[in-house]
Amino acid sequence: MSDIAPGWYKDPADPATQRWWDGEGWIGAPLPADATPPDGPPPPEPAPAPPAPAAGVDGTPPARDGGPHGWPVDRTAVPPRHSPVPTPPPPGWPHGAPPPAGWPQGAPPPGWPQGAPPPPGWPHGAPPPPGWAPAPVMPHGMALAGYGARFVARLIDLGVLLVLVLIANSWFLVQYFQELQAYLPQVSEYLAAAERGENPAVPAASDRFSFLQLAMLVVTAMVWFAYEVPQIANSGQTVGKRLMGIKAIGLQDGATPGFIRAFRRWNLYGVATLFWSCCGIGLLWQLLDGLSPLFDRHLQRAWHDRVAQTVVVQLPRDASGAPLPAGRPGTNPARPPADPGGRTDTTGGDR
């Protein structure tokens, strides 16, 4: 017994027609898709009239009891045997997989919610099967990491980086502030002269001031590289990701990214640090890159994930809610046992 309410639906086998679904199968003659169907089920089709008996060939008596022409009159014809026609799998069913038991030809799967988009391969023009909802994306059997977990992990990493950058740039910071103290009086004199209506020359920073500024940006990028790339390459997790129980894995193989992918992943937004002093262009680029997962509804990948072919997933948790360990480099212990049919990997064709 199906959960689909009886009614008129477009026939998935022939989208140009519509037929009556009685809860178990299609009944009645088809109607054009644009025709107005009756309020209830179609009237029963009249039984076909039996053909008139005809004389046999070469003086043989006419057929009797449904026998063929020339069949002996004292015998009843044996009904012909028809080999059962195999029912094709439902539209969109994985190639090579057996169809579900009892699948009726052309019938939508029972229990799919109304209004959900139809499954892949569903005939064009047919109503979405009631109850269908797309399966959650599970790259290599693991759920995608949530936006909140990724945001908190990034904040933790930025906090750790801030401490490391201040330590690495300590000497440059002292020299920079000394140059800044010599430069600020020139700025004050310029502003005072401008208020008096004069036309003073704009004070220019010394070459050493610009050099120290660039040097600190280079050191910041180097510290960021040394902090993030080796961790992502070896385990797919920085300090923030480890605390939040999320991990970056390869989209195609589900393994830890390795150095090349980790470098490509960092390079897209890490090098932009060198352009912070260029009207904030580098900082704006990094902000847009951080928001880019919001615009990827399928795999929630940032631009740097797309370049490196990685995806961030949520590691499974134990009974207490704590994330399980990420495992040794180059492996993915959170990945379930291999599925020969690949049905647990629902990356949606991006493999």
Averaged pLDDT for residues 16-24: 81
Structure confidence at residue 62 (pLDDT): 52
Question: Among the ranges 48-62, 95-109, 117-131, 208-222, which has the highest mean pLDDT value?
Answer: 208-222
Q: For the chain, give the mean pLDDT.
A: 76
Taking the C-alpha atoms of residue 114 and residue 7, their distance in angstroms, rounded to an integer, is: 14
Q: Would you place residue 107 in the very low, low, confident or very high pLDDT band (cuts 50, 70, 90)?
A: very low
Of 336 and 99, the one with more pLDDT: 99
Taking the C-alpha atoms of residue 203 and residue 314, their distance in angstroms, rounded to an integer, is: 53
Q: Would you place residue 94 in the very low, low, confident or very high pLDDT band (cuts 50, 70, 90)?
A: low
pLDDT for 212 beyond 80: yes
Q: Does an H or E element contain 25, and which?
A: none
Q: Which of 343, 271, 347 is nearest to 303 (CA)?
A: 271
Structure confidence at residue 346 (pLDDT): 46
pLDDT for 105 beyond 50: no
Structure confidence at residue 120 (pLDDT): 61
pLDDT for 23 beyond 50: yes
Taking the C-alpha atoms of residue 293 and residue 154, their distance in angstroms, rounded to an integer, is: 13
Taking the C-alpha atoms of residue 174 and residue 286, their distance in angstroms, rounded to an integer, is: 27
Share of the chain above pLDDT 90, in %: 34
Question: Among the ranges 83-87, 162-166, 336-340, which has the highest mean pLDDT value?
Answer: 162-166
Beta strands across the sheet bearing 26-32 = 7-11, 14-21, 26-32
pLDDT for 202 beyond 90: no
Structure confidence at residue 351 (pLDDT): 39
pLDDT for 310 beyond 90: yes
Other C-beta atoms closer than 10 Å to the C-beta of 214 total 13
Each domain of the chain, given as residue ranges in start order, spans 1-49+86-135, 140-314
Burial (CB count within 10 angstroms: exposed 0-12, middle 13-18, buried 19+), residue 135: exposed
Q: Which of 61, 85, 86 is nearest to 73 (CA)?
A: 61
Task: Please provide the size of the chain in residues.
Answer: 351
Of 313 and 339, the one with more pLDDT: 313
Alpha carbon of 256 to those of 84, 234, 302, 304: distances in Å? 51, 7, 17, 15
Structure confidence at residue 185 (pLDDT): 83
DSSP string, 233-244: HHHS--HHHHHH
- Amino acid letter for position 85: V
Task: For residue range 177-191, list pLDDT tens digits in order.
Answer: 888 888 888 888 888
Alpha carbon of 46 to those of 24, 30, 37, 42, 49: distances in Å? 21, 15, 19, 12, 9
Task: For residue range 53-90, list pLDDT tens digits in order.
Answer: 555 545 555 544 445 555 555 555 555 554 444 555 55
Taking the C-alpha atoms of residue 193 and residue 313, their distance in angstroms, rounded to an integer, is: 59
Q: At what angle do helices 258-270 and 207-235 cross, to 10 degrees?
A: 150
E-state strands within 234-309: 246-250
Taking the C-alpha atoms of residue 256 and residue 42, their distance in angstroms, rounded to an integer, is: 60
State both tokens at 142.
Answer: 């693991």
Structure confidence at residue 98 (pLDDT): 56
DSSP state at residue 12: T
Averaged pLDDT for residues 224-245: 95
pLDDT for 301 beyond 90: yes
pLDDT for 226 beyond 90: yes
Task: For residue range 113-146, list pLDDT tens digits in order.
Answer: 444 455 666 666 566 566 565 566 788 888 999 9
Of 251 and 71, the one with more pLDDT: 251
Of 238 and 28, the one with more pLDDT: 238
Structure confidence at residue 267 (pLDDT): 92
DSSP state at residue 58: G
All residues at 6 or more sequence positions from 190 whose CB lies less than 8 Å from its CB, including other chains: 200, 201, 202, 203
pLDDT for 286 beyond 70: yes
All residues at 6 or more sequence positions from 194 whose CB lies less than 8 Å from its CB, including other chains: 200
Structure confidence at residue 154 (pLDDT): 94
Structure confidence at residue 309 (pLDDT): 93
Structure confidence at residue 339 (pLDDT): 43
